[in-house]
Amino acid sequence: MRDDAPAPATLERVRRNLVGLRMPRALEVLDHVVRQVERGEIGTLEAVDALLAEELTLREGRRIKAALQMARLGVVKTLASFDFSFQPSLDRNRILALAELDFIRRHEVVHLLGPPGTGKSHLAVALGVEAVRAGHSVYFASLADIVASLARAEREGNLRERIRFLCWASLLIVDEIGYLPITSSNGNLFFQLVNARYERGAMILTSNRGFAEWGEVFGDPVVATALLDRLLHHAVVVQIEGSSYRLRQHVDLVPDTMRVPSAALTQVPPRRRGRPPKARPSAPNAT
């Protein structure tokens, strides 16, 4: 046995301490690391470093798993699995720049616009995963789910608490804007959420509808204009032009009339500053 190899009593004490400190991964690899020390492959300090690195890796994996579950990202998708070659109009470097997450620190809004199936949700989830890995809090939901929860909270007298809950995350991802119609009252509730996060928290929005159509999407052009006034102030707009990745094997079956002209998606209606009308007398004033 080498002079720097631990005595049996010391080794047993290390095991007990690792159990007491709740370091299961370090305990699991302890014998292997000790054998490396005995063979002279690593020194004592390197052994300590190896044990701590193994435990940290385990804990970081658990943290990421828990954070992903809390974020409600569903099926985890990554930038590595995104097929940029299928969407040549998309600037890969621009997306990779977004993955550096400076937009979160600047409390900006990222708009991912494009026809159905062009990868908007994939990119939104992938950026959310990058944010989780970097230690940011993330929450993901469709617009329909968000406004339904806000409407329910308003009926139950908990609207302020629900808005506060939706503001806790550093990054809020709102998916599928424009896929289902929103009533004007629910549009007003969504405005209150956006207003609460304005310049306080980052957002990623995905939509298959152009900004000029948001009056129709939210049931009221005044509400839509107030939303855009805030959502486009500190914004990054990413336009995805192309066909549906999901329908790539059946593109010939899709009628031309069902293919969305992508150029129309980024059209912005004239801004009309001010407050949208209150949905109900009890709703908080938008400012």
Q: CB burial class (10 A; 0-12, 13-18, 19+) of residue 274? A: exposed
Q: How many CA atoms lie within 13 A of 160 on its CB side?
A: 6
Domain ranges of the chain: 8-70, 72-266
pTM score, whole prediction: 0.75
pLDDT tens digits, one per residue of 45-91: 999 999 999 999 899 889 888 888 888 887 889 999 999 888 888 99
Is the Cβ–Cβ distance between 113 and 266 less than 8 Å?
yes
Q: What pLDDT was estimated at residue 250?
A: 43
CATH number for the region 72-266 comes to: 3.40.50.300
Residue 4's pLDDT is 57
What pLDDT, in 10s, does the model give residues 174-214?
999 999 889 999 999 999 999 999 999 999 999 999 999 99
What local confidence, expressed as pLDDT, does residue 283 receive?
42
pLDDT band at 236 (very low <50, low <70, confident <90, very high): very high
Burial class (CB in 10 A: 0-12, 13-18, 19+), 237: middle
Name the DSSP class of 222.
Answer: H
Instruction: Say yes or no to pLDDT of 245 above 60.
Output: no
**pLDDT-derived band at 252, boundaries 50, 70, 90:** low
